[in-house]
Amino acid sequence: MTVVLELQSALRSELKDPFGPVSTDTAAVLDAAGDPLVTVGDIVTYHTLDAGRVPDLAFVDERTERVAVDDEVSDGIEDDRFDRVRAIENPPGTLTAALLDALTDALATDERTLVRVDGEEDLAALPAIAAAPDGASVCYGQPGEGVVHVTVGAESRDRVVDLLGRMDGDPPRAFDALGVDPE
């Protein structure tokens, strides 16, 4: 397992401000969602599936707020609802080569992909926003508040690329893997 980027504690406060509007109404979020739809987190993915939409790409780790999700959530994220399932390792607070590869591979296909993460998937929203096409939607959970819906565009991408570029590790390798020009 190769860690490409690691979030240092000095940048954690920048993740507290959501990258888009926060909602508790899954149906309204899905009505406004573009294609492809990327979900990050078990609760967001579960509610998306429960509302009748299969994300084009979903990242789950069977945890929410650092505790195991309940059986209803775990059982509700069924592998057979997706065309492909990948299993990767990604330690907390990092972005590994495997996560970046799974992300770019999934975005390059029309197959709905579920990525099961051993470790933590929380930061996957960042490279998803950086790599997804304009108009795509990236949805992730904001603890205690609801789901954040990011419509990918120049403003959200620039904010994420700036953040990724300041993370510890090898930002040029991450940008190359994501096909993103940081300039």
Helix (H) or strand (E) holding 132: none
121 is in an annotated binding site: yes
Domains contained in the chain, number = 1
Per-residue DSSP letter, 109: S
129 is in an annotated binding site: no
42 carries a ligand binding annotation: yes
In this predicted structure, the answer to whether residue 133 has a pLDDT above a threshold of 90 is yes
The pTM of the whole model exceeds 0.85: yes
Within-domain flag for 71 = yes
Annotation-wise, does 78 bind a ligand?
A: no
pLDDT score at 118: 95
Sheet order of strands, 37-40 included: 22-23, 146-151, 137-142, 37-40, 57-60, 113-119, 84-90
Whether 178 maps to a domain, the answer reads no
Report the pLDDT value the prediction gives residue 183, as an integer from 0 to 100: 83
Whether 44 has a binding-site annotation, put simply, is yes
> Where do we find the tokens 């508790």?
24
Q: Which domain holds residue 143?
A: 3-7+19-101+123-170
